[in-house]
A and B are shown apart, each in its own frame.
Chain A
Amino acid sequence: GAVVSQHPSWVICKSGTSVKIECRSLDFQATTMFWYRQFPKQSLMLMATSNEGSKATYEQGVEKDKFLINHASLTLSTLTVTSAHPEDSSFYICSGNGGSAYEQYFGPGTRLTVT
């Protein structure tokens, strides 16, 4: 299957600072990438959809100025959590679309802890 990497896998930051998470498709080109967050024992909550070279589409209730998404190339998307607060602590997972409607390949996730 296709491989998606995320970096870092775990990050701790202080309240008020910004954190950038990278998502890379290693062996395929992802025209569309998705960013999710997941709370313990809960399902995936879609935050935004990004297409290469265009602005991300955010889901209702997700602050686009707080969660900055950049999809600079067909293999790289970044999520920057700006002015992080403890309530932003969560598991963030990206995925890339492999071209078919059902093909979503997920990264291993990034655990963010804001102190």
Chain B
Amino acid sequence: QKEVEQDPGPLSVPEGAIVSLNCTYSNSAFQYFMWYRQYSRKGPELLMYTYSSGNKEDGRFTAQVDKSSKYISLFIRDSQPSDSATYLCAMTRGGGFKTIFGAGTRLFVKA
């Protein structure tokens, strides 16, 4: 079993839709949860991070962490064609432990 599971998609939605991206994990020691966006042939860029459980909102993006279920989500409201990219979840224990990445979900937002 992988430490982090993420459905690779692809996920195709119409412009303006609400997108839900999810990851599950098995290591209860993870404390930091991140979402990265990666455009084709580019390096990932950090979108959001959350420490421990809870929600965090930044513009059209909302990150949720449910540690009891070992489940994290990223919601994108009013999705735009420019949101078309691969979204990778990532998590770490902190304190020098390495970051574990999910496989990434490819998202296509159709105009």
B81 interface residue (CB < 8 Å to A): no
B53 interface residue (CB < 8 Å to A): no
B60 interface residue (CB < 8 Å to A): no
Q: How far is the CA of A104 from the CA of B103 in the complex (A)?
A: 17
Q: How far is the CA of A41 from the CA of B8 in the complex (A)?
A: 8
Q: Interface residue count for B (Cβ, 8 Å)?
A: 27
A43 interface residue (CB < 8 Å to B): yes
Contact with B along A100-115 (1 / 0, CB 8 A): 0111111111010000
Contact with A along B1-43 (1 / 0, CB 8 A): 0000010100000000000000000000001101010000111
Q: Does more than half of chain A's interface fall in helix, strand or loop, or is it mixed? A: strand
Instruction: Name B43's contact: one of A4, A46, A101, A103 (CB within 8 Å).
Output: A4
Kindly report which residue of chain A lies nearest to residue B106, judged by CB atoms.
A41
Asked, given contacts A101-B95, A102-B34, whether A93 binds B104 with beta carbons under 8 Å apart, the answer is: no
A78 — which chain B residues lie within 8 A by C-beta?
A: none
Contact-residue bracket for chain A: 20 to 34
B41 — which chain A residues lie within 8 A by C-beta?
A: 91, 109, 111
Asked, given contacts A43-B103, A44-B101, whether A93 binds B45 with beta carbons under 8 Å apart, the answer is: no
State the Cβ distance, A22 to closest chain B Cβ, in Å. Answer: 14
Does A102 contact B32, Cβ atoms closer than 8 Å? yes
- Contact residues, B85-103 vs A (CB, 8 A): 88, 90, 92-95, 98-99, 101-103
A-B contacts, 8 of them at CB < 8 A, read: A1-B45, A4-B43, A34-B98, A44-B44, A101-B31, A101-B92, A102-B92, A109-B43
> Given A102-B34, A104-B34, A109-B43, 19 other A-B contacts at CB below 8 A?
A4-B43, A34-B98, A42-B104, A43-B101, A43-B102, A43-B104, A44-B44, A44-B88, A44-B101, A46-B98, A93-B43, A93-B44, A101-B32, A101-B92, A102-B46, A102-B92, A105-B46, A106-B36, A108-B43
